[in-house]
Amino acid sequence: MKQLIERLQKTSHLEKDEWLALLNAENDELRQYAAELAREVRHSHYGKKVYIRGLIEFTNYCKNNCLYCGIRAGNPNAERYRLTKEQILSCCKTGWELGFRTFVLQGGEDPHFTDEVLCDIVQQIKKEYPECAVTLSVGERSRDSYQALFDAGADRYLLRHETANKAHYQSLHPENLTLENRMECLQNLKEIGFQVGCGFMVGSPNQTNECIAEDLLFLEKFQPHMVGIGPFIPHHDTPFAKEPSGNVEKTLYLLSLIRLLLPKVLLPATTALGTLRHDGREQGILAGANVVMPNLSPTDVREQYSLYDNKICTGDEAAECRYCMQRRIESVGYEIEESRGDHISKQ
Ligand code: 5AD
Ligand code: FES
């Protein structure tokens, strides 16, 4: 198995049965070995730098009903909020002063944010902070809509594919959401010129190693600029309330394998990883991740952006999150980099 990992490092390619073998054989030794090689690769491209992104969770209204997600339309207990343009700009101001040069606007699929409304917000951010990158994470929209957002100045787009296996996709989503449409959205985003992020949850209900092998094959084919992966964590008001959480070790193993598959990828150590283990994000960095996304949302709405239970950082001010993250990163020998942190191919 170690030879397979070495070959992955050299060629950034494995066949499906080889991925499956690596996933099925997961143990401490392999995980450590994959992390060691992943750090080597990461150091050769990014040194010890960790990029920071300021996350602004600007609406928890959502028209969709994904079975795993706490802000699904069908959750009557979710207390809904949406930030005004002024509130969003005020988050950016705080973020700018704290050294953030990327703002990630993330929200549910909220029909209030039409192209007109969202483009205006993006334009205003880019006007006030021309040196910053704007990343959007607002779900599935039409190609024309993506084009309008790009033309308004958005630089990057995060849209996790969630799973590359059709049957698995259908078991996580209601019928009106299809893998086919998700893939078309991702393709459109790439063609328009965004730096694009896809990704998936580790340990979501019905996920098998075969599903994950298909995810990895998809990553190789799609060549995203960013990959967001984190453990699944149940939310008490969803159909998956009683399902077990994803596994932290497996998530770390996958971070390392993804670093070897896509050597230059921007790979965040996610909040979900930090939620399941106190030092999850630090361990993520040591496994090959090179991005963290501290929260810039106003503290009074943080609790409400609840995709899963026990999410961390809901009580902390932006500055606290920023410096907490810096301490954590330095504690494992890495350093925060205050720049836009574009993908190497787009610098
Ligand atoms: N646990 C972990 N991650 C989740 N997401 C949504 N719900 C959960 C959950 N219960 C992830 C999805 C989505 C991203 C914004 O958050 O992958 O794409
Ligand atoms: Fe909002 Fe899935 S519940 S996109």
Per-residue model confidence (pLDDT) at position 139: 98
With a CB cutoff of 8 Å and minimum separation 6, the contacts of 111 are: 61, 63
Q: Is 140 in the pocket of ligand 2 (CB under 6 A)?
A: no
Is residue 130 scored above 90 in pLDDT?
yes
Is residue 279 scored above 90 in pLDDT?
yes
pLDDT average, residue stretch 122-126: 98
Per-residue model confidence (pLDDT) at position 26: 98
Atom of ligand 2 nearest to the CA of 72: 3
Q: Is 19 in the pocket of ligand 1 (CB under 6 A)?
A: no
Q: Is 260 in the pocket of ligand 1 (CB under 6 A)?
A: no
Per-residue model confidence (pLDDT) at position 346: 85
Please state, in angstroms and as integers, the Cα–Cα distance from residue 175 to each residue in 170, 172, 207, 258, following that order: 7, 10, 18, 30
Please state, in angstroms and as integers, the Cα–Cα distance from residue 10 to each residue in 39, 48, 198, 260, 345, following that order: 14, 21, 24, 8, 20
Q: Is 185 in the pocket of ligand 2 (CB under 6 A)?
A: no
Q: Per residue in 329-342, pLDDT tens?
A: 999 999 999 999 99
Three-state SS string over 182-219 comes to: HHHHHHHHHHHCCEEEEEEEECCCCCCHHHHHHHHHHH
Is residue 317 scored above 90 in pLDDT?
no
pLDDT average, residue stretch 102-125: 98
Is residue 33 scored above 90 in pLDDT?
yes
Q: Per residue in 149-177, pLDDT tens?
A: 999 999 999 999 999 999 999 999 999 99
Q: How far, in Å, from the CA of 232 to the mean position of ligand 1?
A: 7
Q: How far, in Å, from the CA of 344 to the mean position of ligand 2?
A: 31
Per-residue model confidence (pLDDT) at position 283: 98
Q: Is 66 in the pocket of ligand 2 (CB under 6 A)?
A: yes
DSSP class per residue in 50-71? EEE-EEEEEE---S---TT-TT
Instruction: Report the share of the chain in percent with pLDDT over 90.
Output: 96
The number of CA neighbours under 13 Å toward the Cβ of 10 is: 6
336 vs 25: CA distance, rounded Å: 34
Mean pLDDT of the chain: 97
pLDDT band at 316 (very low <50, low <70, confident <90, very high): confident
Given ligand 2 and candidates 57, 68, 72, which is best to mutate, with the most ligand atoms within 8 Å of its CB?
72
117 vs 103: CA distance, rounded Å: 17
The secondary structure element, H or E, covering residue 83 is none
pLDDT average, residue stretch 73-88: 97
Q: How far, in Å, from the CA of 74 to the mean position of ligand 2?
A: 10
In the 8-state DSSP scheme, what is residue 331? H
Q: How far, in Å, from the CA of 30 to the mean position of ligand 1?
A: 27
Q: CB–CB of 288/35 below 8 Å?
A: yes
**Residue 316, SS3?**
coil
Helices (H) and strands (E) in the chain, counts: 14, 9
pLDDT band at 261 (very low <50, low <70, confident <90, very high): very high
Whole-structure pTM value: 0.97
Q: Is 307 in the pocket of ligand 1 (CB under 6 A)?
A: yes
Per-residue model confidence (pLDDT) at position 315: 83
